[in-house]
């Protein structure tokens, strides 16, 4: 009674961000919160969903592969070719956390929106949000 029911998938995906102590991101809630928000490809101006970044990655690592650090393109292709579902999900989760953290770093408006709605928890003492 009174217990907040959550999507089990969301529980599995909401977690501390590797390499960013104290930061937690609920990836499913972030996807819902940012639905309809877009970004533009810095290379050709194509408008794409900002989160999740799957379409953006597909575009960037496909259309603009020659402009991108080869290690990132290889990591994306390794993810695309991974046949072990559990491993593939973990790779995707890692990509989402990395991208989300970058996004929150460069887009203060989205960071504030995510923090204010409880989708993102920042480390204590990390300054104004």
Among 10, 15, 41, 122, binds Zn ion (CB under 5 A): 41
For position 49 contacting Zn ion by CB under 5 A, the verdict is no
Crossing angle for the helix pair 85-106 and 70-81, nearest 10 degrees?
140
CA atoms in the 13 A half-sphere facing the CB of 45: 0
CB under 5 A: which stretch of 45-53, 71-79, 105-113, 118-126 binds Zn ion? 45-53
For position 46 contacting Zn ion by CB under 5 A, the verdict is yes
For position 43 contacting Zn ion by CB under 5 A, the verdict is yes
CB under 5 A: which stretch of 24-32, 39-47, 90-98, 111-119 binds Zn ion? 39-47
For position 68 contacting Zn ion by CB under 5 A, the verdict is no
CA-CA distances (angstroms) from residue 74 to 64, 66, 79, 122? 13, 12, 9, 31
The Cα 25–Cα 119 span in angstroms is 6
Based on CB atoms, which residue is closest to Zn ion, 40 or 108? 40
Q: Which helix H or strand E contains 48, and what residues bound it? A: strand 47-49
Kindly list the residues in this chain that would bind Zn ion in the complex (CB under 5 A).
Answer: 41, 43-44, 46
């Amino acid at each position: 009674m009174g217990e907040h029911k959550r999507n089990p998938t969301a529980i599995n995906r909401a977690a501390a961000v590797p390499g960013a102590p104290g930061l937690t991101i609920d990836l499913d809630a972030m996807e819902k919160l940012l639905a309809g928000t877009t970004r533009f490809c810095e290379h050709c101006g194509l408008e794409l969903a900002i989160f999740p970044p799957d379409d953006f990655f597909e575009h960037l690592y496909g259309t603009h592969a020659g402009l991108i650090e080869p290690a990132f393109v290889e990591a994306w292709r390794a993810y695309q070719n991974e046949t072990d579902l559990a491993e593939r999900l973990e790779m995707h989760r890692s990509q989402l956390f990395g991208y989300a953290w970058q996004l929150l770093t460069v887009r203060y408006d989205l960071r504030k929106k995510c923090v204010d709605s409880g989708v993102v928890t920042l480390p204590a003492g990390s300054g104004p949000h």
